Amino acid sequence: AVDKINLIPQDFFAELCEQIIQHLNHKNPGINTVELCQRLQTSGIEVNVDDLAKITNIVSFLFSTAARSNLSTEELSSALGSTVNTLPKHAVQVIRHVWSEQGKSVAVSENQRHMTTVGQFVDIKWKLGVAMSSDTCRSLKYPYVAVTLKVADPSGQITNKCFEMTVPQFKNFFRQFKEMAAVLETV
């Protein structure tokens, strides 16, 4: 995956690093790897989402380790130079720059806690449909709700999870969230 960093133009890589460090600073809900990947592919660059995800994890790890060890920009540069010697020069430049601008405010303790499988809810998109007819039943006529949940995984990457609900399932779903709200209020 580190080889693939060579393929990414400097401005895209800078954008990625910006998103990563902003996520570590709790300034954004997550990192849009899918969207970045699509833009890269449109520009003719052959990277897939997996590669980009791996690169994101590596850079994220770099920044959070640097935060934990309280590294200055110089210290980070020399650490990069000695250990990760396959990083292309433009990548090192970007990392240096982003770190010197925003590295100070990266909070460390939070990252440890989120090394679990709990994701963060970011947003929900929905559509309401009525299935009219199918090959097994000409008169289906059942309404359903299709939702897409935007979720940030522990490393900050945003993914979409889609599913459908029938009307009774939706009502139950709604009811559960109302109960949750009630409990959160009283705690």
Residues binding another protein (CB under 8 A): 26, 107, 109-110, 113, 117-121, 123-124, 126, 128, 130-131, 134, 136-146, 149, 151, 161-167, 169-170, 172-174, 176-178, 180-181, 183-185, 187
DSSP character at residue 149: E
Q: Which is nearer to another protein, 115 or 130 (CB)?
A: 130
Q: Partners of 163 in the beta sheet?
A: 147
Q: Is 31 exposed, middle or buried (0-12, 13-18, 19+ CB in 10 A)?
A: buried
Q: Which is nearer to another protein, 41 or 140 (CB)?
A: 140
Q: How far is the CB of 109 from another protein (least distance, A)?
A: 7
Q: How far is the CB of 117 from another protein (least distance, A)?
A: 6
Instruction: Report residue 138 as tokens.
Output: 């000409």
Q: Which is nearer to another protein, 81 or 167 (CB)?
A: 167
Instruction: Report residue 101 as tokens.
Output: 């601008």
Q: What count of other Cβ atoms lies within 10 Å of the Cβ of residue 160? A: 12
Contacts of 128 (CB under 8 A, 6+ apart): 143, 144, 145, 146
Q: Is 113 exposed, middle or buried (0-12, 13-18, 19+ CB in 10 A)?
A: exposed
Q: How far is the CB of 30 from another protein (least distance, A)?
A: 13
Q: How far is the CB of 36 from another protein (least distance, A)?
A: 23
- Could you give the CA distance from residue 183 to residue 187 in angstroms, rounded to a whole number? 6
Q: How far is the CB of 74 from another protein (least distance, A)?
A: 28
Q: Which is nearer to another protein, 39 or 171 (CB)?
A: 171
Q: Which is nearer to another protein, 9 or 131 (CB)?
A: 131
Query: Which single residue is written with the structure tokens 């009502």?
Result: 171
Q: Which is nearer to another protein, 26 or 39 (CB)?
A: 26
- Could you give the CA distance from residue 22 to residue 119 in angstroms, rounded to a whole number? 17
CB contact at 8 A, 95 and 62: yes
Q: How far is the CB of 120 from another protein (least distance, A)?
A: 6
